[in-house]
Amino acid sequence: MDFQKKRVQLLAFIVGIIALSITGMSAQDAAKTAQKEGTKAAKLAKRQAKRIIGPVISSGWDFFEALYYGGTITEGFLRGSGTLVGAYAWSWVGGRIGLMVYDVVDGVHYLLQFVQGEDSEVYESPPD
């Protein structure tokens, strides 16, 4: 991430030097102004990177937390993806919605097995 920050800072510095030189500013003043603009651009790039990396780490954490506490991979996936979507839409609510979707699907699956179990007849052979 530090490399990306330096690259953005250098690019902003170069663009600033060129733009300020065209306006007729002295080279020394242009260099100072461009340095300030480069530092601002680097801070902005770092802030934007944190906004992307944070939710991804949080999503992965929720995935492994669900697995650690005995959940299935499906539960972990839904909880992690819900957290990732929720980070950009509704904060922590997304993870809870993903978990709720998993619970609803699991409940419907259980009900279908229960209903199918009542309809089918099981024939046992008499003991010998």
pTM of the predicted structure, to 2 decimals:
0.46
Residue by residue, DSSP assigns 5-30 as HHHHHHHHHHHHHHHHHHTT--HHHH
pLDDT digits (tens, 9 = 90+) for 71-126: 888 888 888 887 787 777 666 666 667 667 777 877 888 888 877 765 555 556 66
